[in-house]
Structure 1
């Protein structure tokens, strides 16, 4: 078969939506998956197959893969894009929320990968694209659980790449920088809910401003930039293992490599405004 088949998760908005459209334009049969199916009408109108999927629900994931195989007989590309940012001080974030963050950002992606790999192995070809973040290489104040998921997915991707290479399967990591999506607003709201009062309130206010302030929004890259990068990666005969792209991604990763831990701590406090926001009073 000449037509390749792709599955994109988190496709109801932002990077996922843009990626589904990009792969469709490249000639793929595209299946776009998300919990909010009603938000994918534009994708359906563009000839993209829309699937209801919750990456924390194994039944919906298995049903989606079964439908793709029944419909197309194969799956060539999996883009693990579904995810969200849970921000808040380590002291404040409940372990239930921490587990939920890992369930979506890590275990959902891994489980879906497990479901597609038998089909890719039987084809002797395929590409798994994991959307991590520059936050899988750097860290910011009040983002421990989010960064933990992205660091974890980076490591899992490396191990997976070694395992599946003999079967002709590529594993590609995309590390976006600041992108114009709903992500920052959701993460900032979560941060204020969790740590907007109490000992970390001043840091939370500064960090939220760094996420969604006017200067930050102006510099963010469009999600189409990430979609185009994914398109290039899955079209390459030998794709790179990692693509750092979008506002700040390459410079921030370079700075992290260059600086010591303490020096990067100081840089990050200054960059996020949390040095001014730190409140060390006893509460």
Structure 2
């Protein structure tokens, strides 16, 4: 059994929650963080060696407080899993400024803030691993995803660049690229879909894209698959940077590598009837 500690952001549901439970069954100490109401996480709060605490990735005071609580409870942080994420889809012209900022505040700035605040401890330990949840959407893009894909492309770039400097302190970075996963992500996106009916030029395009995305989402994997991939990345001792989770992600990322830009975009348009 392990006595290592993992801190996970975004544990109120989905991948974060399942991963927290999975690592706990493997004997890890788990710091399961949620944006608000940690006391409401009844199941997680009953698990041995699990600390449930609040952490808002967009608030540095909240970040530093949660990390201090983790250190006080378990003495160290061996792995940071930057899982907290937000997805905004829709027509850019119809997207409010606050939605644009939220997308990057959570997925990009939040990931950087949490990472920056954990690194001093890893530097003193001379060891540690940052695991960032990207997406197959960090390697490919779908229509209406300029915000979401932009944020995940950023996660890919900053993770790759960070890996160079962390070698000097004995730490590392890994990226997880899930495909379509059976979480509440689709419902969250749908509830905040950015479209303006008065911009009639986009109506037919949006309708076709939404049909295509619904078809793609029907082939989803379960969150436990991602949790298992994260555990593999955390424990395999390899210098591998990227880990793909899901048959759909494997297929589309492989296709993207083989196609030039024009051919890839034509493939997407054909699949969505555009």
The TM-score by the shorter chain falls in which range?
over 0.9
Distance in 1 between residues matched to 2:253 and 2:133, nearest whole Å: 16
Kept after mapping to 2: 8 A contact 1:180/1:223: yes
User: In 2, distance between residues paired with 1:188 and 1:197?
Assistant: 19
Note if 1:124 corresponds to 2:123: no
Deviation of residue 190 (structure 1)?
A: 2.1
CA deviation after TM superposition for structure 1 residue 117, in Å? 0.5
- Separation (CA, whole Å) in 1 of partners of 2:27 and 2:218: 33
Matches within 5 A, 1:93-104: 93-104=95-106
Name the residue aligned to 1:194: 195
Q: Is the 8 A contact 2:6 2:80 kept in 1?
A: yes
State the Cα deviation string for residues 175-225 of structure 1 (Å, max 9, x = none). Answer: 00010001122113322x4356633223323333333x3x54442000000
Work out the number of aligned pairs and report it: 270
Aligned to 2:94, which of 89, 92, 95?
A: 92
Query: Helix, strand or coil for the counterpart of 2:175?
Result: strand
Q: 1:116 to 1:134 in 2, by over 3 A?
A: same
Whole-Å separation in 2 of the counterparts to 1:25 and 1:107: 31
Structure 1 gap ranges (5+): 276-283
Q: Is the 8 A contact 1:86 1:101 kept in 2?
A: yes
- The structural deviation recorded for 1:39 is 5.1
Identify the residue that residue 180 of structure 2 maps to in structure 1: 178
Q: Partner residue of 1:244? A: 244
Per-residue displacement from partner, 1:101-127 (whole Å, max 9, x unpaired)? Answer: 000000001100000001011111111
Contact 1:178–1:247 at 8 Å: present in 2 too? no
- Name the structure 1 match of 2:12: 12
Mapping 1:1-283, distance limit 5 Å = 3-36=3-36, 37=38, 40-47=41-48, 48-191=50-193, 193-195=194-196, 198=199, 199-211=201-213, 213=214, 215-273=215-273, 275=274
Distance 1:56 1:225, change over 3 A: same
The Cα of 1:40 is off from its aligned counterpart by: 2.3
Q: Distance in 2 between matches of 1:249 and 1:216?
A: 11
Contact (CA 8 Å) 2:51, 2:70: kept in 1 or not? no
Sort the Cα spacing of 1:39 and 1:204 in 2 relative to 1 into closer, same or farther, 3 A. Answer: farther
2: CA distance, partners of 1:184 / 1:16: 16
Structure 2 gaps of 5+ residues are none
Q: Distance in 2 between matches of 1:28 and 1:220?
A: 28
TM normalised by structure 1 equals 0.90
Instruction: Work out the CA distance in 2 between the residues paired with 1:203 and 1:12.
Output: 34
Aligned mates of 2:165, 2:98 — CA distance in 1: 32
Assess if the C-alpha contact under 8 Å between 1:196 and 1:204 holds in 2: no
Distance in 2 separating the partners of 1:51 and 1:166: 31
Q: Residues of 2 paired with 1:113 and 1:190: CA distance?
A: 28
Distance across 1 between alignment mates of 2:222 and 2:189: 18
Most deviating of 182-191 and 202-211: 202-211
Distance 1:255 1:71, change over 3 A: same
CA distance in 1, matches of 2:183, 2:255: 25
Q: Which moved more, 1:15-24 or 1:237-246?
A: 237-246
The CA RMSD over aligned residues, in Å, is: 1.7
